[in-house]
Structure 1
Amino acid sequence: MTSQLSAAVGPDSTDTIPHLRSLTIRRPAMSEHGLLDYITRDDSLVWARRGEGTVGFGEVARFEATGPQRFTLARAWWAAISESAQVNNPLEHPGTGLIAYGAFAFSYSSTYASKLVIPRIVVGRNEECSWITYTVADAEAPLSIEAAESELAQLLEEYSPEHELTHGTDRLVAGQISEADYMDSVRKGVSVIETGAITKLVLARDAVAELASPIAVAQVLRQLALRYIDCWTYSVDGLIGATPEMLVRVRGDIAEARVLAGTLDRATAPLGDGDYARRMLLEDEKQRHEHRLAIDSLTEQLGPLASGMDAPDEPFVLQLPNVWHLASDVRATLSAHADGSVPGVLDLAEIFHPTAAVCGTPTKEAGRILRDLEGMDRGPYAGPVGWIDTRGNGELGIALRGGVVESPTSVRLYAGCGIVAASNPTEELAESWAKMRPMREALGL
C-alpha cells in the first residue's frame, strides 16, 4: 500500500507545516479526582492513569498516513513541527509544552490511517504539578493564560451527555470473525506451531456493540479509569480503551516497557483460594513459556540501543478487575548517538512494534501467518497509542482492551490471545471474551 500524507490546521487546511505557538503555565493543584474532572467531552483526547496524564481539547494540526512508511512520515512531520514551533514552556517536564496524541495501525497493510493530533488545549497532571498548555496556529491569535483558561472553561461547560441504558436494545453482535471461525483459526494456528515454523502466534477477533442511543465516550472513559486504575486509559480520534501494556516510555535517556504475556480469567477463579493466580500463572509451563518468548523478543531488540538494561528474571502477577497477567517491567539506559542525542519514543516504537506479545515469535513470520489466519484488518488494535513531546519523550502503550467508535451507536471491540502448542480453542475463546469485559462493562453490556 502506498503511503499517504495529510496535514490539517483547522478550517484552512494546507499541505504545509503549520507554524505553531505554544504556551505552558503551571496551574493550582487539582482535586482528589485528578484528570477525571476534565474527562467530560466525547471529543477529548485522553491519556491517563491514576489521576495523572493529560486531556486534550480541540485541534490545531493533524498528520495522517497509511502504508509501511507511516512511522517514518510521522517522525518527519513531527520533527518539522517541533523545529518551526515557538514553544514557551518553563516547566520542562516530560509531557509539558507542545505535545501530540498518536494512534498507529497495527499493520502496514491496514486501511486505518495512523495519526498524530495536536490539541489546542492540554490540561496535565503529574506527581509534581498541574499545568495547562495552549497552542495556536493563527499568528494573530492571542496567546495568554487568560485566553487559555477562558476557552477551557467554556469547553468544560459544554459537556457531553451520558448514555441512556435501554434494557434489551443494546446488544453485542459478531464482528468480522465469528466464534466458530476464531476457534478454527486457533486450531490452525496450533497446527502451524507444531510444524516448528513458529513458537507462538497471537490471534485476534472482534465483536460489535450496537447501542440504541449514542455512545457516551467520556462516560466510558471515566468508567475505565475508575475500574482499571493500573491501566492507561486512552482516547485518540475514536480509538478508546484502557491498556495494561506499555510498549515504550521514554524520559530523557531512560526507556521503559511493561510486557504482558500469560492470562488468567478472574471470573472462573475458585473462591477462597488466595494462591490460585500465582499457582496457575507462575507455576504453569505454558504461561511461563509464552511470557519468556515476549521478554526475549523485547530485550533482543532493545539490547543494541542500550548501554545498560534491567530485565528481571522472574515476572510478577498483575491483578486487574477482569484478569490476572504475568507481567515484567523492563528498564534501559539508551546509548547516545555521535551527536549526543538518544532515540526518541517514535524511533523506539517503530523498532519494537509489533511485539511478540501481540504478534508472535518469531515476529516477522508470525505476522505473515496471522494475516492469513485472522481474516480481518486489525486497524489500530494492538498498535501504538499515546503521546509524544518535542524533546523525544513520550508514552506509547499498546492499544488493547478497547475498541473503535465507528458510528454514534456502534463500537467495534477487539481482543487477542497468545497461541502456543498447548493452546485449547475453547479456552482461548473464553479468554478473548474476558479481555473484552472492560469495554463491555463500561458500555453497560
Structure 2
Amino acid sequence: MGHKMTDVRQMQKVMISPSTRFFTETVEVGRISPLSFFEAGASQYKDSRFYWQNADKTLTIVGIGQAYTLATGRTGGRYKDISEKWKQLCSILIKEEKDIAPVLFGGFSFDEENRKESEWDEFPSGYFVVPSFQLKIEEGKTLISINMITDHTEATLDFERLRDERDKLIHIAQVEEFDFANHNKVIATTERGKEQYLKAVENATESIQQGNADKVVIARALELQFEQEVNSVKALHAITNEQQESYHFGLQKGESLFFGATPERLIEIKNGKAYSACVAGSIRRGKSAQEDRELGEALLGDRKNREEHQHVVSMISNIFNKYCTEVLIPKTPKLMKIRDIQHLYTSVEGALGEENDIFSFVEALHPTPALGGVPTDVALEIIRHEEEMDRGYYAAPIGWTDAAGNGEFAVAIRSGLLNSDRAYLYAGGGIVADSVPELEYDETWVKFRPVLRALGGKLNG
C-alpha cells in the first residue's frame, strides 16, 4: 500500500519544537462504509486505528495511523497534561476554511492509582491519537482528512505521499468487498475471581452498613479463549449490530482492541453547550411488551434504584452548576430501554463557561457514582482493596475532542479487551446496604451479554 510514512510516525513522542507544524486537509468523498475504511487500514496501520459512533448515529469518526500520540503515565494531573499538550498542538494548526477540525481520540484508565500487572500493561494512564487519516460522517456528508504534524523541511513531499496513501485507502474502502461475518469459536470461558467477587460484594455491603459509604461499584471479569485470532473489524461489526442504541467505540493499540457499546454519555460539548446524562439503576427487559412495561414501572418506583440514580444526578448537577450557566435538569428520571436492560435516565445540559474545556469536565465527572460509588474517595479505596484486579479502561472515559473545542466522551461499560485469540470482558454493579451477592452476580451476567454475544460466547449464568 505504499509508504507507511515512518518519518512522520517516528517523531510522535518528541516534544513539540518551535519548528513543528500541524497541517490538515479535508476532501469530501462519496458514501463509504466506516468499517470498510477502518479495515482498509489493516494492512499498514493495524496497530493504530480507532472507531466512534454516537448513540443517535448522527456522527461517525474513524482514525487510521498516527500523526501524533499523546500519552501520560502521571498519577496526578493527567487530564490537564493531555489538555495542555492538545492546546499546544492546536496552536500550530494550519488549515483552510474548508478543512474540518482535526480530531484527538483516546481514553483514560479507570483508576490511575490502581494499576496492577494485567492485560492492560501496554495502556498508559491516558492515551490519545491524532490520526494520519480521519473519516468523519456527519449531516449526510463523508469527509476524509489528512493530518500531518512534522518539523521536517520537506513537508510538501511528505504531504504528497499522504495524499497518495489517502486515495488508496478510499479506493480500497469503496471497491473491495469485506466479509464482516463473525465466525468466532469460543473454546474456553473462565470466570476470573468469582469467589473473590462474591466476597468483595459481601465486604462492601458490610462497610456500607457500617456507615463508611453509601454505595460502592464492584466489578468482575470474564476471560474468553478462541480457536483462532479474532479480527478487530468483525468484533466491531458484531457489537454495532448487537446494540443499536449505544455509543460504539474501538481503540486499537498494538495487538489489543478495546471496544464496546455503551449506553452512557459522560460529557458532550457542542457549539458552546455542555451535555451529560445520569444513567444509574437498572432492571432486565421483559419477555413481552406488557411484562417490559411492568418491569419499567417497577424500576421507576423502586427505592433502591431511585436512590442509586439520585446519587448520580446530585453529583453531575453539582459539577454543571460549577462549570456552566443556564443548567437544565428534569426533576424525575425517564426509562432508557436498550436490548438487554432498562436504566433510569436523566439528561443534564448547560452553557459552557469560558475557562473550561472537555477535559475539565472529564476530570470532574469521572468516576460518576454509577461506576465508582459515594463518596467517591471512600468507594475507590474499597474498590482498590476488594476487587483485586485492574479495570484498565473499563468504566473509564473514552472519546474525542477536536481543534474547535467540540467533543464527546462516553463511559466505557459493556466493553471488552480483545487480544489475538483472547478477550477480557468486564461488568459490575452498584452495591448498597441491602445488596445480596448472588443477585448482584446474576445482574453482571446481563451486563456481560452484549459483548459476550458479539464475540460468539454463551451465557453461563
Interval of TM-score (by shorter of Structure 1 and Structure 2): 0.7 to 0.9
Contact persistence 1:58–1:119 (CA under 8 A): yes
1:260-286 Cα distance to aligned partner (Å, 9 max, x none): 1011123x7567424223222101111
1:259 to partner: Cα distance: 1.8
Alignment of 1:176-191 (within 5 A): 178-191=193-206
2:221 is equivalent to residue 170 of structure 1: no
Return the match for 1:103 from 103, 107, 114.
107
TM-score (norm 1): 0.88
SS of match in other structure, 1:275: helix
Question: Residues of 2 paired with 1:63 and 1:14: CA distance?
Answer: 8
Amino acid at match of 1:52: L
Question: Residues of 2 paired with 1:372 and 1:146: CA distance?
Answer: 51
Q: Residues 353 and 166 from structure 1, CA distance in 2 versus in 1: closer, same or farther, beyond 3 angstroms?
A: closer
2:363 is equivalent to residue 350 of structure 1: yes
Aligned position for 2:262: 243
Contact persistence 2:188–2:224 (CA under 8 A): yes
Amino acid at match of 1:439: V
Aligned position for 1:58: 65
How large is the Cα RMSD of the aligned pairs?
Answer: 2.5
Contact persistence 1:22–1:133 (CA under 8 A): yes
SS of match in other structure, 1:142: helix
Q: Residues 83 and 292 from structure 1, CA distance in 2 versus in 1: closer, same or farther, beyond 3 angstroms?
A: same
2:217 is equivalent to residue 198 of structure 1: no
Return the match for 1:415 from 421, 424, 427.
427
2:242 is equivalent to residue 227 of structure 1: yes
Q: Residues 335 and 137 from structure 1, CA distance in 2 versus in 1: closer, same or farther, beyond 3 angstroms?
A: closer
2:93 is equivalent to residue 88 of structure 1: no
Aligned position for 2:53: 48
Question: Residues of 1 paired with 2:176 and 2:101: CA distance?
Answer: 25
Q: Residues 124 and 199 from structure 1, CA distance in 2 versus in 1: closer, same or farther, beyond 3 angstroms?
A: same
Aligned position for 2:120: none
Contact persistence 1:317–1:324 (CA under 8 A): yes
Number of aligned residues: 421
Aligned position for 2:21: 19
Aligned position for 2:4: none
Aligned position for 2:317: 299
Amino acid at match of 2:76: P
Question: Residues of 2 paired with 1:158 and 1:104: CA distance?
Answer: 35
Question: Residues of 2 paired with 1:158 and 1:12: CA distance?
Answer: 32
Q: Residues 357 and 281 from structure 1, CA distance in 2 versus in 1: closer, same or farther, beyond 3 angstroms?
A: same
TM-score (norm 2): 0.85
Question: Residues of 1 paired with 2:58 and 2:450: CA distance?
Answer: 18
Amino acid at match of 1:253: G
1:130 to partner: Cα distance: 2.6
Q: Residues 87 and 70 from structure 1, CA distance in 2 versus in 1: closer, same or farther, beyond 3 angstroms?
A: same
1:330-377 Cα distance to aligned partner (Å, 9 max, x none): 1111233xxxxx411112111111111110011122112211111111
Contact persistence 2:12–2:69 (CA under 8 A): no
1:86 to partner: Cα distance: 1.6
SS of match in other structure, 2:342: strand
Question: Residues of 2 paired with 1:88 and 1:154: CA distance?
Answer: 25
Q: Residues 58 and 160 from structure 1, CA distance in 2 versus in 1: closer, same or farther, beyond 3 angstroms?
A: farther
Return the match for 1:273 from 291, 300, 312.
291
1:24 to partner: Cα distance: 2.0
SS of match in other structure, 2:105: strand
Question: Residues of 1 paired with 2:283 and 2:146: CA distance?
Answer: 44
Aligned position for 2:168: 151
Q: Residues 84 and 128 from structure 1, CA distance in 2 versus in 1: closer, same or farther, beyond 3 angstroms?
A: same
Amino acid at match of 1:35: P
Q: Residues 159 and 70 from structure 1, CA distance in 2 versus in 1: closer, same or farther, beyond 3 angstroms?
A: farther
Return the match for 1:261 from 275, 280, 290.
280
Question: Residues of 2 paired with 1:82 and 1:166: CA distance?
Answer: 42
Aligned position for 1:325: 343
Question: Residues of 1 paired with 2:428 and 2:264: CA distance?
Answer: 13
Return the match for 1:71 from 75, 79, 104.
79
Question: Residues of 1 paired with 2:11 and 2:322: CA distance?
Answer: 44
Contact persistence 1:68–1:109 (CA under 8 A): no
Q: Residues 57 and 13 from structure 1, CA distance in 2 versus in 1: closer, same or farther, beyond 3 angstroms?
A: closer
1:134 to partner: Cα distance: 1.0
Contact persistence 1:233–1:241 (CA under 8 A): yes
Higher mean displacement: 415-424 or 268-277:
268-277
Question: Residues of 2 paired with 1:353 and 1:128: CA distance?
Answer: 33
Question: Residues of 2 paired with 1:270 and 1:367: CA distance?
Answer: 39
Higher mean displacement: 14-23 or 388-397:
14-23
SS of match in other structure, 2:111: coil
Contact persistence 1:88–1:97 (CA under 8 A): no
1:87 to partner: Cα distance: 2.7
Higher mean displacement: 268-277 or 199-208:
268-277
1:165 to partner: Cα distance: 3.3
Question: Residues of 1 paired with 2:196 and 2:203: CA distance?
Answer: 11
1:329 to partner: Cα distance: 1.3
Question: Residues of 2 paired with 1:189 and 1:110: CA distance?
Answer: 18
Amino acid at match of 1:436: F
Aligned position for 1:3: none
Aligned position for 1:381: 394
Contact persistence 1:277–1:317 (CA under 8 A): no
Question: Residues of 1 paired with 2:447 and 2:130: CA distance?
Answer: 30
Q: Residues 274 and 103 from structure 1, CA distance in 2 versus in 1: closer, same or farther, beyond 3 angstroms?
A: closer
1:212 to partner: Cα distance: 1.2
SS of match in other structure, 2:280: strand
Return the match for 2:372 from 342, 359, 362.
359
User: In percent, how many aligned pairs have the same letter?
Assistant: 24
Contact persistence 2:133–2:166 (CA under 8 A): no
Aligned position for 1:282: 300
1:240 to partner: Cα distance: 0.7
Q: Residues 331 and 164 from structure 1, CA distance in 2 versus in 1: closer, same or farther, beyond 3 angstroms?
A: closer
Aligned position for 1:35: 34
Q: What runs of 5+ residues in structure 1 fail to find an aligned partner?
A: 1-7, 337-341
Aligned position for 1:431: 443
Q: Residues 414 and 155 from structure 1, CA distance in 2 versus in 1: closer, same or farther, beyond 3 angstroms?
A: farther
